[in-house]
Amino acid sequence: MQYTSVENNSASASKKNTQMAQVSGISATDKLAILGGTPVRTEPYPQWPVVDRRDVEAVTTVIQSGRWGGAPYPGPQTLAFAKQFTAMQGGDFAVPMVNGTVTMEVALRAVNIGWGDEVIVPAYTFQATAGAPMAAGAIPVIVDIDPNTYCINPVAIEAAITAKTRAIIPVHLGAQMADMDAIMAIAKHHNLIVIEDCAHAHGAQWNGQGAGTIGHFGSFSFQSSKILTTGEGGVLLCRTQELADRAASIINCGRPPVLEEQTSMQGGNNLSQLLYELAKLGNQEQVFTLGTNYRMTEIQAALGNVALERFPEQVAQREAMVNYLEKRLGEVPGVRLLKHDPRHSKRSFYRYIFAIEPKVFGANHDQVCLALYTEGIPCWAGYPAMHRYDLFQPQLSRLPVPSAFPQYFDFKAMSFPEAERASEGEAIWLDESVFRAGQQGIDDVITAIAKIQSNTAALAVANTVKKLAVKSMQFKPVKALMDFYISQSNK
Ligand SMILES: Cc1ncc(COP(=O)(O)O)c(C=O)c1O
């Protein structure tokens, strides 16, 4: 394993701590906000999502039109959204859906991947990446991540391939991209389908090619926290018209995709509605495949069309601020920046993830994160490693796949050292809003981290307090106990 800039020598770390503290105008006596001191930042970071009158007008127009839902599919707003999304992200065939989980399930079903097939997923991601294969009847096979990017490790993929392997779902995590060159080479060699989970990668590019257009499918989420949001929503980018047709049919109750597409293309609202009704009256609603209703609504699509207008400027703004942050963050002792692979030619930031060295900080990432949060910096300690999730365990979930194939879900016997290191010790995820608050927003992040570093001893006490406080919630007086520990930390 290679780290880029881990500081292990505690003597030199504490010297650097002092330097850092001086640079930031923070002294070791400044009390941490978590211990009742003044937070570095009291002004809130900008809210998400950004809203203006365009959103209100777009939704009002849809509401007044009476055409709210997704049928006949795709409606005019949804069709426009699909076109504008591909114009921004690349790729030719986009199928809008209800969210960025079913997109992956539908991709698998569109290529007949199902019961008992193995799908390789990374050990560090949101549960949906493994949940979607299970919804299609397939078995998620978890593999470890690359510590330099926290994305799936191609060497681990190769090692996990069996005769039953049918697909790989790499996740472009936070603001990183998985090594798509290596993954596509493996997929070609073993004849596997690649579904890029791009829930965090709107606007990102690899070798000049949009995320989600390199694999056979690209899955995007527009859930509320995502940097392109429609409240809830998703798009599946498909490499061919045939795949897009199958996906469009699966999400539209199995209806033939061509009829639906033609009706919407020909005349928008009234004509398509009329043709749809006529088809129904004539009992011509043939079933193309077994499907369900995963259609995006017109209201969601209208919000997406407005969000796309703002999107390029927001991406550029975050990128400028990340560049500013990276110049200074890497100098903080005990902080390791993830690597920026030059093939990742355009970065886009959903969450900015960096690693701390717990030994140097004297605290684990969740403790540092809590202290950082209390200093006024929106952040998160990230996902648990996939094998720590309870919900896939056969005896708990009673889902068909874990129940039928329990040998794949013996999580206690599994070990993914890099995912564990990230999720249980190192990773800190900064919110995207941090990068929309100008240089001051970034300066505050650096100051807060330096302050925490200068107070590692106090942080340890704060953590003891927190643990005791949590344990003592049932008992009174918790406040007195906390006051006692805080007074000890000030001695
Ligand atoms: C990596 C990843 N994949 C998939 C999803 C699922 O997206 P949705 O919530 O739209 O179903 C998310 C959502 O948070 C995600 O973070």
Q: In angstroms, what CA-CA distances link 234 with 96, 174, 254, 296, 385?
A: 6, 17, 19, 8, 24
Domain at 455, CATH number = 3.90.1150.10
Ligand 1 centroid – CA 123 distance (Å) = 15
Q: Token pair for residue 448?
A: 């807060």
C-beta 99 within 6 A of ligand 1: yes
Angle between helices 76-89 and 298-329 (to 10 degrees): 20
Query: Helices (DSSP H) in 282-364: which residue ranges?
Result: 298-329, 358-361
Residue 394 pLDDT: 74
CA pair distance 304, 317, nearest whole angstrom: 19
Residue 491 pLDDT: 46
C-beta 187 within 6 A of ligand 1: no
Whether 258 and 286 share a structural domain: yes
Q: Evaluate whether residue 31 is within a structural domain.
A: yes
Q: Residue 250 CA to chain centroid, in angstroms?
A: 25
C-beta 135 within 6 A of ligand 1: no
Whether 57 and 43 share a structural domain: no
Cα dihedral sign for 342, 344, 348, 352? negative
Residue 389 pLDDT: 85
CA pair distance 480, 486, nearest whole angstrom: 10
Whether 98 and 131 share a structural domain: yes
Residue 15 pLDDT: 47
Residue 384 pLDDT: 96
Which residue range forms the structural domain that includes residue 293?
53-308
Whether 14 and 139 share a structural domain: no
Q: In angstroms, what CA-CA distances link 24 with 42, 95, 173?
A: 17, 49, 30
C-beta 123 within 6 A of ligand 1: no
Going by C-alpha positions, the residue among 198, 229, 227 that lies closest to residue 211 is: 198
C-beta 10 within 6 A of ligand 1: no
Q: Evaluate whether residue 227 is within a structural domain.
A: yes
Last residue of a domain, one of 308, 338, 367: 308
Whether 38 and 121 share a structural domain: no
Q: Are the beta carbons of 119 and 167 closer than 8 angstroms?
A: yes
Residue 395 pLDDT: 73
Nearest atom of ligand 1 to the alpha carbon of 125: 1
Last residue of a domain, one of 285, 308, 331: 308
Domains in the chain, number: 2
Whether 270 and 341 share a structural domain: no
Q: Are the beta carbons of 334 and 361 closer than 8 angstroms?
A: yes
Total residue count of the chain as it appears in this document: 491
Nearest atom of ligand 1 to the alpha carbon of 104: 4
Q: Are the beta carbons of 315 and 203 closer than 8 angstroms?
A: yes
Q: Evaluate whether residue 413 is within a structural domain.
A: no
Q: Evaluate whether residue 107 is within a structural domain.
A: yes
Domain at 226, CATH number = 3.40.640.10
Last residue of a domain, one of 308, 332, 357: 308
CA pair distance 33, 42, nearest whole angstrom: 11
The best mutation among 97, 223, 227, 300 to test binding of ligand 1, ranked by most ligand atoms within 8 Å of the C-beta, falls on: 223
Single pTM value for the model? 0.87
Q: Evaluate whether residue 400 is within a structural domain.
A: no
Residue 271 pLDDT: 52
Site of tokens 């809003």: 433
Whether 326 and 474 share a structural domain: yes
Q: What is the DSSP letter of 379?
A: E
C-beta 300 within 6 A of ligand 1: no
Ligand 1 centroid – CA 471 distance (Å) = 33
Q: Evaluate whether residue 343 is within a structural domain.
A: yes
Whether 163 and 258 share a structural domain: yes
Instruction: Give me the residues of the chain with pLDDT under 70, please.
Output: 1-29, 258-288, 391, 461-491
Whether 90 and 140 share a structural domain: yes
Residues 6 or more apart from 44 whose CB is under 8 A from it?
none
Q: Evaluate whether residue 482 is within a structural domain.
A: yes
Whether 270 and 363 share a structural domain: no
CA pair distance 144, 293, nearest whole angstrom: 34
CA pair distance 64, 78, nearest whole angstrom: 16
Whether 286 and 149 share a structural domain: yes
Q: Evaluate whether residue 411 is within a structural domain.
A: no
Whether 256 and 328 share a structural domain: no
> Phi-psi bin for 91: left (phi > 0), alpha (psi -120 to 50), beta?
left
Preceding peptide of 49 cis, ω within 30°: yes
